[in-house]
Chain A
Amino acid sequence: GAVVSQHPSRVICKSGTSVKIECRSLDFQATTMFWYRQFPKQSLMLMATSNEGSKATYEQGVEKDKFLINHASLTLSTLTVTSAHPEDSSFYICSARMAGSTDTQYFGPGTRLTVL
């Protein structure tokens, strides 16, 4: 149980385009989902926290207009990188916390974004 999927696993796009990444909890309801960014050989940095039906809370330094997050249902959150640039190339990971749970986050397999 507690499986989280992400789609796509890899995406390559041209500079200036927008890319949407989906995060789904497959076998549980997630009231809260989290989006992280991981640079090569580095740790995970939290970008934002999204709660179902409300606006996401962004970490300091993360541009909310550039990284649009939508959490429209208890099993789906999306991250849209708008007007992507090469410096947005990274590994993006989502996680989900089970409804009714207060501690453990379950992680998706990640999405590698390459902006040319």
Chain B
Amino acid sequence: GAGVSQTPSNKVTEKGKYVELRCDPISGHTALYWYRQSLGQGPEFLIYFQGTGAADDSGLPNDRFFAVRPEGSVSTLKIQRTERGDSAVYLCASSSIPGLTNNEQFFGPGTRLTVL
């Protein structure tokens, strides 16, 4: 079956602009996560959705970052007034039911964001 998909694969923008990154999780997966991976580092958690609601947004670095999942499937990560420090690969992951024993998360290919 189809895995997690993310669009665009690459996004180049100018400092101060607004960007949207999209994630389409595996069909039927109720849990969706956003992570950010800087060069040479491990992914860092941003936000977790269970269904339509953001159950944990403690990883969002500041109020320029926002994410939605209005119908409990596709999610959009929105970044306002982008800064050069926002440049990273943004990864999306989904899992079936977090309370299940292993909660294996399946990752998408990521969106590489470059802020000039």
A binds B: no
